[in-house]
Each structure stands twice: as structure tokens, then as C-alpha cells.
Amino acid sequence: MANDPIITITGMSFSYALSDRPALDAIDLEIHRGEYVAVMGLNGAGKTTLGLCLNGIIPHMLMGQQTGTVRVDGHDPSIRVVREMARTVGIVFDNPEFQMSQVTAAEEVALGLENLGVPTVEMPDRIARALRLVGLDGFEDRAPMGLSGGQQQRLAIASVLVMRPSILFMDEPTSNLDPLGKDEIFEIAQRLNRDEGMTVIVAEHEVEVLAEYADRIIVMHQGRIALQGTPAEVLSQVSALSKLGLRSPQVTEFSQALSGPSGHLPITTDETLRWLKDRASRAPA
């Protein structure tokens, strides 16, 4: 991974208007170009607010008090207009059906391009490529409302990809999807990260998914960054996570129950199988 920060947040706090406590409280954070970062935290921890500060919805469309600095791929979202910021950060939320407003998938994807003033002649190629990136090749004429939840979410991702952002922020993108739909979304995110070099940030509750895909996990708690590190570093801290109301992967909890808190604990099923074999081979005959 290039050691080149694409996002630099320094001493940033934000309180929503009329709220008596900050939603984000003195955040310092650097995210590198091409990194895949997962953001964990209980309801109200500040995950969504963090995303909205990156694309300029905060402070332009949601009022409040913001201090500190945010730089996103060379831009200050508090100065750049929100429409332009979409060229840099694409945000996808958890409820794809509310993000659909057009008669066809192509029109849905074209909306962002119209907002950016992209010439009409360039649109079909850009739309086709965005649909291809999410595995919806040839879906141009399909009705968004007739798609499955997973397909709708992929269409929502295509609608931001068409603006060619360097950063994709997905806010609990699979919370309304079935297991197959969830896997598809995470595979697309991984492909965009690995093959297209996109910086991917995902707010997510399912720790098993985080263990599998993320380069780094950030744990937020009451508007602050409580823990961060590689998935292995963060998810093996079973008791620290539990104090924050969060759980570790089931395989990690299982391994800890077997071995006690010391030593390296596995965080994925594959690692657990190796870990168990290793323990078995070292057990006295």
C-alpha cells in the first residue's frame, strides 16, 4: 500500500445543531490511498457522521458546529460544493430502495453525471462501465424497483462509481440484504479496492466480514476513535471490544475460551482450523 494519505483529519469535532454532545469528538485520522478501512462502533458512535464530513454533506447540508480540519484527496469538503465533492467521495447507504428514483437503471446511474454536467455523448460508455463494475452488465433498461435488494444496492454503488470517485464510503451497505446479497457487495468492494485501486471505507457491524476484507479496523465509541489496528490486532482484543459493547468474531471467542486470553488468537475460520491443528500437534500424546 502506498504510504500516501488520501484523507487527513486533524482535531475534528462536530456537534449537530441543538445537540448537547459532540457526534465526533477530537478525531485525528489518516487513511492511505488504496486502503480498505472498516469502521465499527455501536449505534450512535459517529460512523455515519464521519462519512458525511468526508463528502461535505456536513457542514453544507446538515447544520452544526465543526472544528478542526479535513482534507480529502487534496480538497477541503467544507469549502468545495457538495456536488463537486461527489467526484472524490462516493457514499452508499444501507437502504438502496430509498436511493432509487428513476424509471430505468441507466437513468438512475446517469443522475450523478447530469449533476456534474458531463456531456450526454459520454454518458452511455460511463454508465455501461459503472454497471459492469458491479456485475450489472446489460441492466441499462431494467426498472430499479423491479430489482432484488442486492441488485438495487449494486445499482446504488454504480450510481456513485460513474462519477469516478477515488474513495468509496459504504455505510452499513448490507444491513438489509440476505447472505448472498451481502457476499456480493463485499466481493465488489474488494474488487474495487484491489483491482481499481479505490480507497474503500465501510461502516459495518458484522465482524466476520471485517476480519476477512479490511486492511485496518477503526473502532469508534461516543464520537472518538477507541481502538484501531489490523483486523488481527483489533478483533483479538475480546475483552476491550466487549467493554465497548462489541463482539469479536465467534471463532476468536471460541479460541479464547479454549486457550485463555494469552497468545495469538485466530480471527477467521481458516486461521482457526490452522490454529486448532497446531494446538493438536503440540498437545501431549
Q: Which residues bind ligand ATP (CB under 6 A)?
A: 16, 19, 23, 41, 43-49, 62
Signed CA dihedral, 99, 100, 105, 107: sign only: negative
Contact 167, 7 (CB under 8 A): yes
d(CA 5, CA 15): 26
Residues 48, 153, 174, 237: which binds Mg ion (CB under 5 A)? 48
Degrees (nearest 5) of the Cα angle 237, 171, 175? 80
Judged by CB under 5 A, the number of residues near Mg ion is 2
Contact of residue 44 among ligand ATP, Mg ion, none (CB under 5-8 Å per partner type): ligand ATP
Classify residue 162 as left (phi > 0), alpha (psi -120 to 50) or beta: alpha
Per the listing, cell 433498461 goes with 141
Instruction: Compute CA distances 126 → 71, 110, 139, 164, 193, whole Å.
Output: 27, 9, 14, 9, 19
Find which of Mg ion, ligand ATP, none residue 90 binds, CB within 5 to 8 Å per kind: none
Residue 276 interacting partner from Mg ion, ligand ATP, none (CB closer than 5 to 8 Å by kind): none
Task: In angstroms, give the least distance from the CB of 182 to Mg ion.
Answer: 17
CA dihedral 198, 203, 209, 215 (to 10 degrees): 50
How near is the Cβ of 17 to ligand ATP at its closest, in Å?
A: 7
Q: How far is CA 64 from CA 16, 54, 56, 171, 225, in A?
A: 4, 15, 13, 21, 20
Q: Choose from Mg ion, ligand ATP, none: what does 49 bind? Cβ within 5-8 Å by kind.
A: ligand ATP
177 contact partners, CB below 8 Å, separation of at least 6 = 149, 150, 153, 185
CB of 95 to Mg ion, least distance (A): 11
Rounded to a whole number of angstroms, the minimum distance from the CB of residue 11 to ligand ATP is 18
CB of 171 to ligand ATP, least distance (A): 7
47 vs 154, beta carbon nearer Mg ion: 47
Binds 45: which of Mg ion, ligand ATP, none (CB < 5-8 Å by kind): ligand ATP
Our CB check for ligand ATP shows the closer of 46 and 150 to be 46
Identity of the residue, 59 or 135, whose beta carbon is nearer to ligand ATP in the bound complex = 59
Binding site for Mg ion (CB under 5 A): 47-48
